[in-house]
Amino acid sequence: MQLFYNPNISEDTNTFNFDKDESRHIVKVLRKKIGDTIHITNGNGWLFEAELTIANIKHCAVTIISRALQPKRTYNLHLAVAPTKMNDRYEWFLEKATEIGIDEITPIICDNSERKVVKLERFEKIIQSAMKQSLQCYLPKLNQTISFKDFANQDISGQKFIAHCEETEKKSLKSQLKTSKDCLIMIGPEGDFSPNEISIALEKDFIPVTLGHTRLRTETAAIAACHSVAFINE
């Protein structure tokens, strides 16, 4: 199944027109013809089955023939991850986390962050592409970049964890996770969270955790955390 994404389609939509780029992809790449079926999601859980009524390289149109709201996960996973020095590593994390299953992502700027500016528009496109590729109907929410202090001071409910490498008392993330519970995990930059940031997190009731016996890169740690939550909720 080839899945298309458009946030402007709703459960009340009966007909829909694709833009020039998507129309070209439908006709030239997928070789779709009038009468063929196309699947579309709006990123809010709805899956639409549509019949192609116009198949032109510059203009494709469909009629919605069925719609169904897909079931949502029983938990909400939010990862707050510091941008990596190499941008492509963060983009890899976004792609894989979306494929595995994540609901919300926040880039956090920390004391040891080497990269403090990110291109959210590009990140959004990567997330959309990964959602379509993995045939999911819920688009993860990408938040604006925020400082660690401002983020930690927010009123956040559910399970809250901070994964760091300091030689202090920590617990295994897998041992602390609870099924069907909302979860927030903070992952620091290449230089790790600073002692002051760890102290702030502990004051805000974040649980310090370890992700294993080896030292992981930021993007690897984020994926390990994402998979742990998905695995415990299977």
pLDDT digits (tens, 9 = 90+) for 155-177: 888 999 999 988 888 999 999 99
Residue 91: what pLDDT? 97
CATH topology of domain 77-232: Alpha/beta knot (3.40.1280)
CB 178 within 8 A of CB 76: no
CB 55 within 8 A of CB 26: yes
Residue 166: what pLDDT? 87
Residue 121: what pLDDT? 96
**Distance, CA of 119 to CA of 129 (rounded, Å):** 16
All residue ranges of the chain with pLDDT < 70 are none
**Distance, CA of 184 to CA of 182 (rounded, Å):** 7
- Cα–Cα nearest to 23, from 6, 48, 45: 6
Alpha-helix residue ranges (DSSP H) falling in 71-172 = 87-100, 120-133, 148-152
User: Domain spans of the chain?
Assistant: 3-69, 77-232
Quote the pTM value. 0.92
Q: SS3 for 53? A: strand
Residue 167: what pLDDT? 86
Residue 205: what pLDDT? 94
Residue 56: what pLDDT? 93
Q: Please, what's the b/e burial string for 188-210 (b: 16 or more CB within 10 A of its CB; e: otherwise)? A: bbbebbbeebbebbeeeebbbbb
How would CATH label the architecture of 3-69?
Beta Barrel (2.40)
